[in-house]
A = this chain, B = another copy of it.
Amino acid sequence: MKNYSYRCMVALTLCSIMCLAAIQARAAQGEDQTQHRQLAEVETEGGLKVKSADGDFEFELGGELWMDAAAYQEDEADLGNGTELRRARLSLGGKLFKDWGYAAEYDFGGNDAEVKDAYLQYDGFDALSMRVGSFKEPFSLEDQTSGKATTMMERALPVDAFAPGRKLGIGVISSGKRWSAAAGLFGEPVGVDTKDEGDEGWGAGGRMTYAPLKADRHVLHLGASLAYRIPDDESEVRYRVRPESHITDETLVDTGNIDDVDNTSQYGLEAAYARGPFSLQGEYLQTMVAREAGAVELEFSGWYVTSSWVLTGESRQYKASRGRFNRIEPKGSESAWELALRLSSIDLSDEDIEGGKQENLTLGLNAYVNRNVRFRANYIWVDADPSADAVREQPEIFQLRGEIYF
């Protein structure tokens, strides 16, 4: 007979807190719930925004389409020129009874139905928000940055490899004028069910950011995050990553399955500086894998630095309450153009695991036609040393994307 995991105890406690909060909030609201049929205002910028007359209810419906093409100058491994519907998202969100909110986001690219963000949020407390459902574990500036707002077409090697990503969990978010903090308790991603009815993995993590300098068009951002995880009953982890290009499925670096994993700890340091049209951003990420049965602990790491220059003068918009940047929007009637350079590196070899090392240099050009339409081009010089077996190779990648947001 097994005892309850203490996760259950924690969950029960958090649930009680949430319920108590609910009682307190509802009492404080003092509104009769029976009458809320009020005509709403409707706006469209290609999508749909609806707001009730009293402002207590909102509904938004929108989406994204990302259309990619890539050509590979292969070296050793086949990389498969082609096209892809990189994103085909449908997003719903809303606000209810003033303090409650939700997001439900689905992606149908590749003829799958994948759940992205899907959560319930409570904003009734002064100091913080609570969230339950599927959302990203708070880790890494580039991972927390919306795909709408990232500088290059794909996230940097270490971010894609190490960021925990979306899980079903419960979290709290808090912020001030210059800082943000987020923490949470997480289970598995949507759609993952541990084989043979073993217990699922679980983890906890948090991220804090602070902007010592925060003025219009002049920002210095600093942050740190960490994530701790106990894997499911299969006790396995694996780290691998595509070469910052998604059309190919090839992962030139790959640790393979690492068995007998007791827990993993991840750390991230981030900094970003933006002044007028110039911006510099970098992160250092590290993963430690603690194993059972006397096997030595493993350490993998990676970093990137991205510099960007908005040729037409616009500036990246910083959002201190989430500790990240939003997308660039053209001023006036001209498109905004951005030139960017990124150097990224990842090392997945340590002790007995020969995952390989890789360094990418990416040159990027972004054309922000208007708030809703954007085109991108990336050229990537890849230097990959896959492992002791495979030969070192240096393929080159040229990729294009058209994006529409509605």
Contacts from A to B (Cβ < 8 Å): 1-5, 7-8, 11-12, 15, 18-19, 22-23, 26-27, 29-34, 36-48, 50-52, 57-59, 61, 63, 65, 67, 69, 71-75, 77-85, 88, 90, 92, 94-97, 100, 102, 104, 106, 108-115, 118-120, 132-134, 168-169, 187-188, 190-191, 193-194, 196-200, 248-250, 329-335, 367, 369-373, 375, 377, 398, 400, 402-404, 406
What would 10 more interface pairs be, CB under 8 Å, given A8-B81, A8-B398? A19-B335, A30-B333, A33-B370, A40-B43, A45-B57, A46-B96, A65-B119, A67-B134, A81-B200, A84-B193
Pair A333/B26 contact, Cβ less than 8 Å: yes
Pair A23/B80 contact, Cβ less than 8 Å: no
Which of B8, B90, B118 is in CB contact (< 8 Å) with A92? B90
For A59, the chain B residues whose CB sits under 8 A away are: 44, 46-48, 406
For A372, the chain B residues whose CB sits under 8 A away are: 96-97, 100
Pair A1/B74 contact, Cβ less than 8 Å: yes
Q: What 7 pairs between A and B have smallest CB-CB spacing?
A: A111-B191, A8-B71, A83-B187, A82-B200, A113-B113, A80-B197, A78-B197
Q: Which residue of B lies closest to A23 (CB)?
A: B335
Pair A250/B34 contact, Cβ less than 8 Å: no
Pair A46/B404 contact, Cβ less than 8 Å: no
User: At the interface, is chain A mostly helix, strand, loop or mixed?
Assistant: mixed
For A40, the chain B residues whose CB sits under 8 A away are: 42-44
**Chain B proximity of A176: nearest CB distance (Å):** 27
Which of B51, B75, B113 is in CB contact (< 8 Å) with A1? B75
